[in-house]
Structure 1
Amino acid sequence: MELRQLSYVIQIAKEKNFSRAAEKLHIAQPSLSQQLSKLEQELNVMLFRRTTNSVEPTEAGEVFVEKAQHILDAVEQLRQEMDDMAQMRKGKLVVGTLPITGAHILPLVLPRFGEQYPQIEVVLVEDTTSKLEQLTASGGTDVSLLTLPLIDANLSCEPYMEEEICVAVPKNHRLANVTEPIELSELKDEPFIALKRGQGFRQITVDLCAEAGFIPNIVFESTNIETVQALVAAEMGIAFVPNMLIKTTSSDYSPFYLRLKSHPTRTLVIARGKGRYLSKAAQAFIETLKETIQEHTH
């Protein structure tokens, strides 16, 4: 059964005449008759009663015409919706994000994207690195803002930002008020506060310490980087933090931030499932993200 056969049956029922139906359909009458016979044989029912003066639908024909009209209407609506999405007059974009990125990058990007594409609905999914990787690889998000390294081999990514990593220490710490970058090895005996397992920045903490030749003594864990900073300010330990979290204003409840001589960085990437279709809305979001970050880092 083909869509054109549905339209043929509808036109025949409307005109009650093969010649007039063929004329309206811009095909030869023998071809129209042939297609109808072929369809009736496939369905094993007669759709029309042929007389010398007219063509009348059978009971099965009336049901077929009604259902066929619904199908063709749905197909036309689908075509229109796809055209709207292609032209980005409407659509939905699911964006996965880590809490740190969501709090500091998206407020720069989303207003701009919304202004350029007001008909695109953006849905945010905030979760851990491991869960976002699974979601993105399976198509649960269109794109996700993550950091390297990515574990899931079913993801492809492109970088959009390189960010320095610093150290947060309490304000009465022995290294507080040091203005020069320090060696990472100086921190080997310090108690560390870190994000819980499954979060990308937790792995960065472990890897940085490993590069300096020690295993961090993690005394507290949290799912929230703001909580990590608050615990540092409360003199519970020290922590690695991305540069975007460093507050420009000082208060009694904020840590002191140190730079490291090795200038470690993390690479922020926008990831998507390998081989998965990337909608025009997702492509536009990626371009908006890159343009916005470039403007704010230069």
Structure 2
Amino acid sequence: MDQHLLVFVTVVENGNFSRAAEKLHMTQPAVSQYIQLLERSYGAKLLDRSNKYVRLNKAGEIVYYHAKEILGLYSKMQDLIDDLSNLASGQLSIGASYTFGEYVLPHFVAKLQEQYPLIKPSITIGNTKEIAELVLRNQLDVGIIEGDFKNTQLSIDAFAEDRMFVVASSHHRLAQRDNEAEISELEKERWIVREIGSGTREAVEKVFHSMSISPNDIMEFGSTQLIKESVESGLGITLLSHLTIRKEISMGLLKVVQVKGTPFKRKFSIVLRTSFKTKALEVFINLLKEKYLIDDHIKMEGN
């Protein structure tokens, strides 16, 4: 592994030389020397320094972006070599979009650890676009995303189906009716939705298109939990996965609004950058597919 790049990335991510030195088990002068040699080799300053902090300049941003990708490839190469021992072990960096990452993945990883304690998983949560980008840059071994994301540089394999419902506060007038809500009624409601780039937002846009509606009152929040809290308080209605609302439905805090054509369905997909898989990654993907892929039909547990 390129020690100069490792030191540089550590300095950037820790914000100063002393914390980076502590993390790397090096002296601060040694860290400074590595940075100076790296800057000399590129013929450019990479960091703006003060007594309290270091910050990336334009050249530093370029080096940092590519250094993360290079270090990721080094790590992946080492894992593949270690796999020659045929043991499912080592680091496994997993990324997931919010719905799967926050409501499904933790339970699955716990079971993975029971069967393969030598695998050391780390989890990154982001929206679909963010997770795909991290996989593309080799900063994640695997991503799990929602919706119909497409990228020719990535392998995208659907493995499960999610069901989505229109949801309102249990006290909302639409939630208290036994009959289906009219499309015209839904269009007049305030919709609380996720940000552009998230799989849930993509699903909402598709639902609007399928209903031929364009609500004027839309509030955009970057957190599913915040959306649920806001809907529960009566601020508006939303579209969410059944995975995210089971607790609130059971407690009577939220209620599904009856809408023709529901539940709306979307796919969860596994995203990879390369066909080379470590034993740990292979085990993870196989277990995931075994859990959710049934009789060659894509179904989500609980259907």
TM-score, with structure 1 as normaliser: 0.66
Aligned equivalent of 1:266: 266
Q: Distance in 2 between matches of 1:243 and 1:184?
A: 21
How far off is 1:196 after superposition?
1.3
Change in 2 beyond 3 A, CA 1:185/1:114 = farther
Aligned equivalent of 2:139: 140
Checking the alignment, whether the CA contact within 8 Å between 1:88 and 1:120 is kept in structure 2 is no
Q: Distance in 1 between matches of 2:156 and 2:223?
A: 25
User: For residues 9-20 of structure 1, what are the structure 2 equivalents within 5 Å?
Assistant: none
Checking the alignment, whether the CA contact within 8 Å between 1:206 and 1:216 is kept in structure 2 is no
Residue 278 of structure 1 aligns with an amino acid whose one-letter code is: K
Aligned equivalent of 2:161: 162
Change in 2 beyond 3 A, CA 1:228/1:89 = closer
Give the secondary-structure state (helix, strand or coil) at the position aligned to 1:217: coil
Aligned equivalent of 1:12: none
Change in 2 beyond 3 A, CA 1:89/1:150 = closer
User: For residues 35-184 of structure 1, what are the structure 2 equivalents within 5 Å?
Assistant: 82-84=81-83, 86-179=85-178, 181-182=180-181, 184=183
How far off is 1:208 after superposition?
0.8
Residue 203 of structure 2 aligns with an amino acid whose one-letter code is: I
Give structure 1 stretches of 5+ with no counterpart: 1-77
Residue 148 of structure 2 aligns with an amino acid whose one-letter code is: P
Residue 232 of structure 2 aligns with an amino acid whose one-letter code is: A
Aligned equivalent of 2:251: 250
Residue 132 of structure 1 aligns with an amino acid whose one-letter code is: I
Aligned equivalent of 2:67: none
Change in 2 beyond 3 A, CA 1:91/1:190 = same
How far off is 1:227 after superposition?
0.7
How far off is 1:79 after superposition?
9.4
How far off is 1:145 after superposition?
0.9
Q: Distance in 2 between matches of 1:81 and 1:120?
A: 14
User: For residues 215-294 of structure 1, what are the structure 2 equivalents within 5 Å?
Assistant: 215-246=214-245, 247=247, 248-251=249-252, 254-263=253-262, 264-273=264-273, 275-293=274-292
Q: Distance in 2 between matches of 1:172 and 1:143?
A: 41
Change in 2 beyond 3 A, CA 1:186/1:82 = same
Give the secondary-structure state (helix, strand or coil) at the position aligned to 1:174: coil
Q: Distance in 2 between matches of 1:289 and 1:255?
A: 30
Checking the alignment, whether the CA contact within 8 Å between 1:109 and 1:288 is kept in structure 2 is no
Q: Distance in 2 between matches of 1:108 and 1:280?
A: 21
Q: Distance in 1 between matches of 2:84 and 2:258?
A: 46
How far off is 1:218 after superposition?
4.4
Checking the alignment, whether the CA contact within 8 Å between 1:88 and 1:117 is kept in structure 2 is no
Aligned equivalent of 2:189: 190
Change in 2 beyond 3 A, CA 1:179/1:136 = farther
Residue 215 of structure 2 aligns with an amino acid whose one-letter code is: P
Q: Distance in 1 between matches of 2:258 and 2:157?
A: 27
Give the secondary-structure state (helix, strand or coil) at the position aligned to 1:94: strand
Cα deviation 1:1-51 (Å, max 9, x = unaligned): xxxxxxxxxxxxxxxxxxxxxxxxxxxxxxxxxxxxxxxxxxxxxxxxxxx
Cα deviation 1:95-127 (Å, max 9, x = unaligned): 001122112111331111111211111011111
Residue 285 of structure 1 aligns with an amino acid whose one-letter code is: F
Residue 268 of structure 2 aligns with an amino acid whose one-letter code is: L
How far off is 1:89 after superposition?
4.8
Q: Which moved more, 1:179-188 or 1:235-244?
A: 179-188
Give the secondary-structure state (helix, strand or coil) at the position aligned to 2:188: coil
Q: Distance in 1 between matches of 2:251 and 2:116?
A: 38
Give the secondary-structure state (helix, strand or coil) at the position aligned to 1:133: helix
Checking the alignment, whether the CA contact within 8 Å between 1:134 and 1:152 is kept in structure 2 is no
How far off is 1:238 after superposition?
0.6
How far off is 1:249 after superposition?
2.2
Checking the alignment, whether the CA contact within 8 Å between 2:221 and 2:227 is kept in structure 1 is yes
The total of aligned residue pairs comes to 218
Percent of residue pairs identical:
24
Residue 170 of structure 1 aligns with an amino acid whose one-letter code is: S
Residue 242 of structure 2 aligns with an amino acid whose one-letter code is: N
Q: Distance in 1 between matches of 2:192 and 2:218?
A: 6
Checking the alignment, whether the CA contact within 8 Å between 1:185 and 1:212 is kept in structure 2 is no
